[in-house]
């Protein structure tokens, strides 16, 4: 039997049409699956009897449930999920009127950025669209979530097709009806996938730069050797974001590595005339790695310098570091023996 959770409305339409059934029922079927969270076809009472009988013997609906939850003192919650590729983590971040969910698109990561915990254990597999959506669908906070960011485990643009399917379902008014401007995808700059995302969606894009010098970035991020940052920035610049889309450059400040005056000047020269904003990130220390965060004073120096050059700049507030839920710390290695982890009560 085939799980329908993770199918787009168009895929459900094709499925019904292929069986000789009324394909106009596809939006209603999607509504029951995603909006109502119904798993039994027999209880989808507004569907025609013939559709329900056909689906019951061939298909099922099941979203993955979180296994464990860990909560930080700032209200951030990290959830552990089991998937076909291995365990992954999603992070719920309440912040005033905004409630953000950070989802994973892969188990592990093959790109091995030198400062990141996620890639230290290598790549275990891509997540299917249903496994990505389960990270939202199955949470107790589901109805509160109004922003989704693909900033969890993995590189989303190495799993472009499944990420696109998830985005289509998230933004479909017949399912979750999330506005494109409330979805952000973070990437290290895989150009083929980025082109597809820019062409087929209106979601926000965050590009992880971390150095304005190619050789230094290559030492931090091996992806630079295959997809140079100047080519990524050129692509973003040639695809204007428009009023409801935002392009952001993420710049994590490492003490003594990329936080000098020369780096700031090079960053300004690189970005001054581009339709991008900068988000300065605090580095979260990964045990065993040699990197340390730049001081708050240095972060402020960069912020003021960028703003003074006319470049929009913000400093990302760190959330969930005490439970390893902050950027770069996700590993999918949650253990039920940890005193900070508990079963999820749904």
Q: Note whether 216 and 228 are within 8 A (CB).
A: no
- Residue 116 designated active-site: no
Longest dimension (CA), the chain: 70
As a 3-state breakdown, the chain gives helix, strand, coil percent values, each rounded to 5, of: 35, 20, 40
Active-site annotation holds for 11: no
Could you say which of 102, 113, 313, 327 is catalytic?
327
Q: Which residues are registered as beta bridge partners of 69?
A: 79, 342
How far apart are alpha carbons 153 and 336 in whole angstroms?
A: 20
Query: Rounded to whole angstroms, what are the CA distances from 298 to 25, 250, 312, 327?
Result: 58, 16, 17, 19
Answer yes or no: are the C-beta atoms of 164 and 184 closer than 8 Å: no
**CA separation for the pair 163, 123 (Å, rounded):** 17
Active-site option among 89, 158, 162, 224: 89
What is the dihedral sign for C-alpha 109, 113, 114, 115?
negative
DSSP 84-149: TTEEEEEEEEEETTEEEEE--SEEE-SS--TT-SGGGG-EEEEPPHHHHHHHHHTSTTGGG--EEE
Measured in degrees and rounded to the nearest 5, phi and psi for residue 320 equal: 75, 15
Given a contact cutoff of 8 angstroms between Cβ atoms, the answer to whether 64 and 80 are in contact is no
Contact 266, 216 (CB under 8 A): no
- Catalytic annotation, residues: 89, 327
């Amino acid at each position: 039997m085939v799980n329908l959770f993770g199918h787009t409305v168009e895929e459900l339409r094709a499925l019904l049409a292929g069986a000789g059934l009324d394909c106009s029922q596809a939006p209603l079927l999607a509504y029951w699956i995603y909006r109502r969270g119904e798993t039994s076809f027999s209880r989808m009472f507004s569907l025609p009897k013939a559709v329900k009988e056909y689906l019951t013997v061939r298909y099922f609906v099941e979203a993955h449930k979180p296994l464990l939850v860990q909560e930080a003192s700032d209200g951030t919650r990290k959830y552990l999920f089991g998937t076909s590729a291995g365990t992954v983590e999603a992070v719920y971040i309440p912040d005033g009127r905004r409630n953000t969910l950070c989802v994973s698109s892969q188990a592990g990561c093959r790109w091995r950025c030198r400062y990141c915990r996620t890639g230290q254990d290598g790549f275990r597999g891509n997540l299917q669209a249903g496994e990505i959506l389960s990270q939202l669908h199955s949470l107790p906070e589901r109805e509160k979530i109004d922003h989704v960011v693909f900033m969890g485990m993995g590189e989303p643009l190495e799993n472009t097709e499944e990420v696109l399917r998830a985005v289509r379902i998230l933004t479909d008014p017949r399912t979750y009806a999330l506005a494109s401007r409330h979805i952000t995808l973070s990437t290290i700059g895989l150009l083929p996938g980025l082109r597809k995302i820019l062409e087929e969606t209106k979601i926000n894009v965050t590009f992880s730069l971390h150095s304005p010098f190619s050789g230094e970035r290559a030492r931090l991020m091996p992806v630079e050797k295959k997809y140079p940052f100047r080519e990524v920035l050129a692509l973003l610049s040639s695809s204007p974001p428009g009023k409801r889309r935002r392009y952001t450059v993420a710049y994590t400040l490492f003490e003594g590595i990329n936080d000098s005056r020369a780096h700031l000047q090079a960053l300004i020269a690189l970005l001054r005339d581009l339709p991008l904003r900068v988000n300065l990130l605090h580095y979260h220390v990964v045990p065993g790695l040699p990197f340390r965060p730049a001081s708050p004073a240095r972060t402020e120096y960069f912020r003021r310098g960028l703003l003074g050059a006319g470049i929009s700049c913000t400093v990302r507030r760190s959330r969930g570091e005490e439970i390893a839920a902050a950027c770069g710390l996700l590993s999918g290695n949650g253990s039920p023996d940890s005193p900070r982890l508990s079963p999820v009560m749904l």
